[in-house]
Amino acid sequence: MTLIDAMTSIDAQRLLGRIRELGGIGRDGEGRLVRLAASDADRLGRDRFVGWLREAGLEIAIDRMGNIFGVWQAPANAGHAPILVGSHIDTVIDAGIYDGCYGVLAGLEVIETLKASALVPSRPLAVAAFTNEEGVRYSPDMMGSLVHAGGVGIDEALAAVGTDGSVLGEELARIGYAGDEEPGFLKPHVYLELHIEQGPVLEREGVPIGAVENLQGISWQRITIDGVANHAGTTPMSMRNDAGHAAARVVTFLHDRAKASNTPTVATVGTMRFEPNAINVIPSRAVFTVDLRDPFEHRLQAEEAALAAFLENLAADGGVAISVERLARFEPVIFDISIVELIEAAAKKRGYASKRMTSGAGHDAQMMARLAPAAMIFVPSAGGISHNPREHTADAELVAGANILLDIVAQLADQEVSGDG
């Protein structure tokens, strides 16, 4: 017996209405969506989400990290590991309304739809909104799910100092979301995450559903180059120890190497500042970040090694001193193939084409895969745009993705429980 009828669908208007309502919460004086983690705006978004969980009749649990869980549990399935769907509702500065929020609200919608079906799943169903996925105010990103998965201790995470000098633990307490549960209290049987692609592939190929089979590894480093400040007009080019020029050489090296490669490796220098930062002074210091990504660990290590060798030679040739600080390092993730196949099968049954994909962005699923079998579903992003107010996915595509998620959760929840390994 299947848990739901093949034609059962989510309430499209309820889902879309909630996405837009949440997208209106946390606007600044300029109309920008800015719900940074543990901020007053984040509190407003959390309050609305918790309100929806309460209206849906779900048990609400909040851990010390501020991660929010809504759980549907019946006496018949109590004690079993839940099927967990999740993402995040914190945003970047001047954000779009779909990133993360779509996955959280679709997860809630799926649970409400299954509750309305009057059938009891074999396992509890839960939806999660993880804290500080974006990492804009506190580092590292994906912090809430990382702590939940045991990758960072809770005390270390709560002591994180934000870009504004605030302390995460103090801010969570201030906004009323320093919960009582210990991180990791809820260990899922399976973790699923529905997300907009944040890239152009699905739209370009005209495919409505992405079955995400792996997720790129990420290497973040901060590089500091120290040279000698001097007069821009009187110092001959041959006698300069120019930190700015050395930094430019690193940018060019990374760009040219990645562009010439026949692999999906990408390299980005996203931030840079000079000292003394004056138009007529040779920079004495350049500080910049490097973001390296690749779906395979051995290739990511090779790119890190190539950068290290280049920096060593640059220091010797350019008369500069170079230091490197590791900011974050996450290995690539291979998602559970059986769930990937379920996504493909569900898409086919509803008449949608699907494509196996690699995620170029980091997601909470990357961390939760340490705890349980995990996978992701992508829907198209118009123009590949994300982290931007022009971020957009068509309503029909949002609904399609939520229905695929519904079908997979229903199928997993209808399986006989033989253990929670």
Q: What residues form the annotated binding site for Zn(2+)?
A: 88, 99, 134, 195, 387
CB atoms within 10 A of CB 275: 16
Q: Judge contact between 247 and 222, C-beta under 8 A.
A: no
Which residue in the block uniquely carries the two structure tokens 């220091």? 315
Strands 209-215 and 125-130: unpaired
Cα–Cα distance for residue pair 412/397, rounded to 1 Å: 23
Length of the chain: 421
Cα–Cα distance for residue pair 6/389, rounded to 1 Å: 36
Q: Judge contact between 338 and 373, C-beta under 8 A.
A: yes
Is 276 exposed, middle or buried (CB count within 10 Å of its CB: 0-12, 13-18, 19+)?
A: exposed
Of the candidates 54, 352, 3, 379, the residue with the CA atom closest to the CA atom of residue 196: 379
- Count the alpha carbons within 13 Å of 71 in the hemisphere toward its beta carbon: 23
Span between the terminal Cα atoms of the chain, in Å: 24
What amino acid is encoded at 241 in this protein? N
Is 231 exposed, middle or buried (CB count within 10 Å of its CB: 0-12, 13-18, 19+)?
A: exposed
Q: Residues within the annotated binding site? A: 88, 99, 134, 195, 387
DSSP 383: G
Q: Tokens at residue 398, please?
A: 């949002």
3-class DSSP assignment, residue 363: coil
Q: Judge contact between 67 and 60, C-beta under 8 A.
A: no
Residue 284 neighbours by CB under 8 Å, 6+ apart: 226, 227, 228, 229, 243, 275, 276
